[in-house]
Amino acid sequence: MHKRSIRTLLFALVVLCTSAASYAQIGIAIRIGPPALPVYEQPICPGEGYIWTPGYWAYDYDFNDYYWVPGTWVLAPQVGFLWTPGWWGWGGEAFIFHEGYWGPHVGFYGGINYGFGYFGHGFEGGRWDHDRFFYNRSVTNVNVTNITNVYNTTVINNTNVNRVSYNGGNGGINERPRPEEIAAEHDRHIAPVEVQSRHLQEARNNPQQRASVNQGRPKVAATPRPAEFKGRDVVPAKAAGAPFTPPNRGNGGMANNEARTNPVHPRELPAFEKPNLPSSGNPKKDQKFQQQQDKMFAKQQQQREQLQQKQEREHQQMAKRNANDAARQQVEQRHQQQTQQLQQRHQQQQQHFQQKVQQRSSPHR
């Protein structure tokens, strides 16, 4: 099975009632909400121009598990740009992840209290003044010997302090976007930069980051720079944000109350399962059938990869021309249709092949 990336552009067909027009309703959709946010400290800012991006739980279908993406300091890709964190929200049928983005204003991030300036709405950790970013020392960890562009403004956090990591659904945060956050959706945005993608993959490839392993208390909760998961400055979680209750899993690791939405892209399709072919009593004939089956599955896998690559190119083209949500959703609907047609064609081919083998293996022939 191919690795699925949280950054694969997968637009949810379920329109979330919690956001009028989110920048990108993208990510995977599952029925089990993410664990609570762990308790951790912020590592010291490595230098001027770095902006804090809070940690969050991502989901990996290959292991049917959430994994923690550590909070980290990231250089702003453009002067004047701020980070809007990604967030999980209940869409009526499943939890859907909204990817974070860079822009001139902070948009809606589910009302989730990520801390360190992200207290549910807006950002209190710093501000731009012309071409320099000034840090609010009351909520960010800055060494004033190395960074002098600082100020102190006490932030009154009226949000109930909790570690809930998702909006809506059972036990989720009940917040709606404010007018200024809706307006921010129409700004020019930049997707997570390359170092953030590497940071995500580093977390995904580290088994210790999975919730089933760390019980909601990851060993790497925050890092001073993206993708740096080792060293004295790496920060472990002090505690889980709430008692961790693993889901009741069955069916090959899938949670009993978890259900995938209809696949939109080939990478969301289940892995091929090769059935055991009936024996004809003729070893040479059985070997020939096995080779034919392997060839068929190899060709089908190649077709999946070709369609996936084609769809990813279309995603890149949309990103370059900054397509609006309506255009993006139309493309995703077409992608879903393409993927389902491919899946149906492959299933028919497999059924036809199995029937042919059964007929030729019959002792009456």
As a dihedral over the C-alpha atoms of residue 171, residue 175, residue 181, residue 183, rounded to 10 degrees, the angle is 110
- Give mean pLDDT, residues 14-41: 61
What whole-number distance in Å separates Cα of residue 76 and Cα of residue 365? 71
Residue of 195, 224, 193, 218 whose CA lies nearest to 72? 224
75: exposed, middle or buried (C-beta count within 10 Å: 0-12, 13-18, 19+)? middle
Full DSSP string of 27-64: S-EESSPPPPPPB-PPPPP-STTEEEE--EEEEETTTT
Which whole-number Å values give the CA distances from 80 to 51, 109, 133, 264, in the listed order? 11, 19, 8, 35
CA–CA distance from 357 to each of 19, 24, 285, 290 (Å)?
53, 47, 10, 10
pLDDT in tens, 129-157: 999 999 999 999 999 999 999 999 987 76
Percent of residues, the chain, with pLDDT higher than 90: 54
**Alpha-carbon distance values, 221 to 37, 41, 241, 263, 278 (Å):** 10, 8, 12, 32, 52
Query: For residue 183, how many C-alpha atoms fall within 13 Å in the half-sphere facing its CB?
Result: 6
Question: In terms of Cα–Cα distance, which of 258, 336, 254 is closest to 94?
Answer: 258
Length of the chain: 365
- 126 neighbors 51 (Cβ within 8 angstroms): yes
Q: Is the pLDDT of residue 181 over 70?
A: yes
Best CA proximity match to 85, nearest among 132, 40, 131, 37: 37
Mean of all residue pLDDT scores within the chain: 83
pLDDT for res 95: 87
* pLDDT for residue 63: 83
Residue 34 or 261, more confident: 34
CA distances from 163 to 123, 203, 209, 212 (A): 18, 20, 18, 18
Q: Which residues of 199-227 are buried (b: 16+ CB within 10 A; e: fewer)?
A: bbbbbbebeebbbbebebbbbbbbbbbbb
Report the sign of the C-alpha dihedral through residues 227, 229, 232, 235, in that order: positive
Question: pLDDT tens, 294-329?
Answer: 899 999 999 999 998 898 888 878 777 777 666 777
Largest separation between any pair of C-alpha atoms in the chain: 88
In 3-state terms, what secondary structure has residue 267?
helix
> Of the candidates 68, 1, 71, 30, which has an alpha carbon nearest to the alpha carbon of residue 212?
68
pLDDT at 363: 57
What pLDDT shows up at residue 317? 83
pLDDT of residue 29: 55
Band (pLDDT 50/70/90 cuts) for residue 171 is: confident
Backbone Cα Rg of the chain: 24
Given this model, what pLDDT does residue 141 score?
96
Whole-angstrom Cα distance, residue 103 to residue 192? 11
Stated as kind and residue range, the H or E segment containing 135 is strand 132-136
pLDDT tens for 50-109 read: 999 999 999 987 788 999 999 999 999 999 999 999 999 987 778 888 999 999 999 999
pLDDT band at 23 (very low <50, low <70, confident <90, very high): very low
Q: How far is CA 193 from CA 14, 60, 155, in A?
A: 27, 20, 29
Q: What pLDDT is stored for residue 252 in this prediction? A: 36
